[in-house]
C-alpha cells in the first residue's frame, strides 16, 4: 500500500511539472498542445544522456535543456512566425513522437542505473514539485512580474502600451514552460519508470493539458488535481488493490483516460463555466500581432 502511494506521488509529480509548465505558458497567453512531444523528447534525451554517461544529474539537465529548446521552437513558430498556436503545438507533438521513436529505439529497455535516493521514502521530486508550485503561485499572484505575465495573457495590447515587451514575456514563459515539461519527461524515464519504450509517455501530456484547464490556471488546484490523477493512474495499473478480479487489466488501463473525459465534461457545466470563463486568460491562443 505504501508502495502504491509512493508511486502515485511520483506519477503525480510528472503531471505537476508538465502541468505547471503549461500553466505558465497559458498565463502568458500561449497554448501548447504539444506537451506530449516535449515530454517525450526530454525523457528520451535525458535517458540517453544518463545511460551513456552514467550520470543521472546530467540526464536531468539535458532534459531541461532540450525542453527549453523545444519551448523556444514553439515560441518561435507561434509568436514570431505567427503560425496558429494549436498547429504549432501539434507540430511539436508529432515531431517529438516521431523523432524520439527513432532516436530512442536503440536504447529501448531498462535504464540499468541506481535509483535516485529518496527523502523520507518519497522521491525528491515530490518536495521539489511542491516548492515550485508554491513559488509559481506566489509569483503569479503577488508580484509585479506575475502581474505583467497575467496582463500579457489577458490583453497583450494593453500590456504593450503600458511599456511591457509582450514578445519577451511570452518567449520567457514558453521557454521556462518547456524546461519544466522536459523535466517532467525525464522524471518518468529516469525515476518513475526507468525503462525506455516508444511513446512511453502514453498520453500524459494531453492529460496534463486537461489538468491545466481543470485547475482554472491556479497552481495550487493543479497540484491537487495532479495528485488525484497520479493516484488514479496507479490504481489503473494495480486494480487488484481496490477491486480484485473484476474486469480485465486492459479495461482498467482505460480508466484514467475515461476519467479525464468525464472531468472535461464536468468542466463545461454551468457552475464551472462561469468561473472558468472568468479565470481564463482572455488572450489565450491568440497571436499578438503588432499592427
Partner 1 sequence: MVLKGIKRGEMVLEARGITKRFPGVVANDQINFEIKAGEIHAILGENGAGKTTLMNILFGLLQPDEGEIYIRGERVRFRSPLDAINMGIGMVHQHRKLVAAHSAIENIILGHPRAGNILNLKSAEQEVLALAERYGFKVDLKAKVWQLSEGEKQAVEILKALYRGAEVLILDEPTSALTPQETEKLLESIETMARDELAVVPFITHKLPIVLAISHRVTVLRRGKVVACMETAQTTEKDLAMQMVGREVIFRIERADVEKGKPVLQVENLSALNDKDFQALNGVSFSICEGEIFGIAGISGNGQQELVEVLAGLRNAQGGKVILDGKDITHASTLERWQRQIGYIPSDRIHVGSIGDFSLVENTALSHYYDDQFSRRGILNYDALRKLTEEVISEYGVAAPGPETKAKNLSGGNLQKLILARVLSRNPRLVIANLPCQGLDIGATEFVQNKLIEAKKEKAGVLLISEDLDEILSLSDWVAAIYEGKFMGILPAGEAQKENVGAMMAGLQLKGYEL
Partner 2 sequence: MRIGSHVLKLEKRATLSGWKAALISILAIIFALALLSLVFLLAGVNPLIAYHEIFSYAFVNQFGLPLTINRSIFVLLCTYAFIIPYKAGLWNIGMTGQLYAGSLFVLGIVVAFGGKQFSNPTLSPVLLIPFMLIAAMLGGAILGAIAGFLKGKFNVNEIVVTMMLNFIALWLVSFMIKEGGIFMKSGGEGESFELPKSLIAPLIKGIPFTILIALGLAVLIYYLFARTKIGYQIKAYGLSPAAARYAGMSTAMIPVLVFILGGALAGLAGYHYFAAVPGLYKIPKNYTDFGDMAFYGIICGLIAQGNPFAAIPVALLFGGLSNGGRFVQGQLQMNFGVDYALLGVLMISLVAFQFFYRYRFSWVHVEKEKFDVVIPHK
Within positions 96 to 115, which residues make up the interface with partner 2, using CB under 8 A?
A: 96-99, 101-106
Cβ-proximal residues to 291 (8 Å cutoff; 6+ apart), any chain: none
C-alpha–C-alpha distance, residues 269 and 178, integer Å = 31
Of 116, 110, 114, 129, the C-alpha closest to 9 is 129
Nearer to partner 2, 186 or 212 (CB): 212
Q: Taking the complex as a whole, how short is the minimal distance between the CB of residue 30 and partner 2, in angstroms?
A: 15
Q: What angle do CA 22, 119, 231 make, to 5 degrees?
A: 50
Cβ-proximal residues to 259 (8 Å cutoff; 6+ apart), any chain: 229, 232
Size of the site for partner 1 (CB under 8 A): 24
Q: Taking the complex as a whole, how short is the minimal distance between the CB of residue 80 and partner 1, in angstroms?
A: 17
DSSP 78: I
Q: Taking the complex as a whole, how short is the minimal distance between the CB of residue 90 and partner 1, in angstroms?
A: 21
Within positions 113 to 172, which residues make up the interface with partner 1, using CB under 8 A?
A: 142-145, 147-148, 150-151, 154-155, 157-165
Q: Taking the complex as a whole, how short is the minimal distance between the CB of residue 152 and partner 2, in angstroms?
A: 21
Contacted by 204, from partner 1, partner 2, none: CB < 5 to 8 Å by type? none
Contacted by 127, from partner 1, partner 2, none: CB < 5 to 8 Å by type? none
Which range in 90-98, 136-144, 151-159, 185-193 contacts partner 2 by CB under 8 A?
90-98
Cβ-proximal residues to 131 (8 Å cutoff; 6+ apart), any chain: none
Of 256, 261, 250, 214, the C-alpha closest to 234 is 256
Within positions 161 to 220, which residues make up the interface with partner 2, using CB under 8 A?
A: 198-199, 202-203, 206-207, 209-210, 213
Q: What angle do CA 212, 217, 223 make, to 5 degrees?
A: 65
Grid coordinates given for 50: 544518463
C-alpha–C-alpha distance, residues 65 and 59, integer Å = 10
The contact set with partner 2 (CB under 8 A) reads 33, 73, 77, 81-84, 86-88, 90-92, 94-99, 101-106, 198-199, 202-203, 206-207, 209-210, 213, 248, 250-251, 253-254, 257-258, 260-261, 264-265, 267-269
Amino acid at each position: 500500500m505504501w508502495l502504491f502511494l509512493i508511486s502515485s506521488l511520483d506519477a503525480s509529480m510528472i503531471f505537476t511539472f508538465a502541468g505547471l509548465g503549461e500553466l505558465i505558458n497559458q498565463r502568458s497567453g500561449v497554448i501548447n498542445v504539444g506537451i506530449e512531444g516535449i515530454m517525450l523528447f526530454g525523457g528520451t534525451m535525458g535517458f540517453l544522456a544518463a545511460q551513456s554517461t552514467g550520470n543521472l544529474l546530467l540526464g536531468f539537465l539535458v532534459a531541461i535543456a532540450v525542453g527549453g529548446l523545444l519551448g523556444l521552437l514553439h515560441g518561435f513558430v507561434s509568436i514570431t512566425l505567427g503560425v496558429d498556436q494549436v498547429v504549432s503545438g501539434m507540430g511539436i507533438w508529432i515531431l517529438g513522437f516521431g523523432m524520439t521513436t527513432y532516436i530512442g529505439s536503440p536504447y529501448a529497455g531498462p535504464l540499468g542505473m541506481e535509483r535516485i535516493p529518496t527523502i523520507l521514502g518519497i522521491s525528491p521530486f515530490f518536495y521539489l514539485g511542491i516548492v515550485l508550485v508554491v513559488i509559481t503561485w506566489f509569483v503569479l499572484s503577488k508580484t509585479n512580474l506575475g502581474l505583467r505575465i497575467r496582463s500579457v495573457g489577458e490583453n497583450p495590447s494593453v500590456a504593450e502600451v503600458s511599456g511591457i515587451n509582450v514578445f519577451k514575456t511570452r518567449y520567457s514563459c514558453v521557454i521556462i514552460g518547456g524546461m519544466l515539461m522536459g523535466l517532467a519527461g525525464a522524471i518518468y524515464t529516469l525515476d518513475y519508470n526507468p525503462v525506455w519504450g516508444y511513446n512511453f509517455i502514453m498520453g500524459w501530456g494531453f492529460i496534463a493539458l486537461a489538468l491545466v484547464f481543470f485547475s482554472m490556471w491556479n497552481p495550487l488546484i493543479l497540484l491537487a488535481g495532479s495528485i488525484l490523477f497520479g493516484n488514479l493512474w496507479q490504481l489503473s495499473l494495480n486494480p487488484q488493490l481496490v477491486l480484485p478480479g473484476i474486469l480485465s487489466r486492459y479495461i482498467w488501463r482505460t480508466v484514467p483516460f475515461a476519467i479525464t473525459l468525464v472531468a472535461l465534461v464536468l468542466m463545461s457545466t454551468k457552475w464551472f463555466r462561469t468561473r472558468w470563463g472568468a479565470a481564463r486568460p482572455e488572450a489565450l491562443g491568440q497571436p499578438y500581432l503588432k499592427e
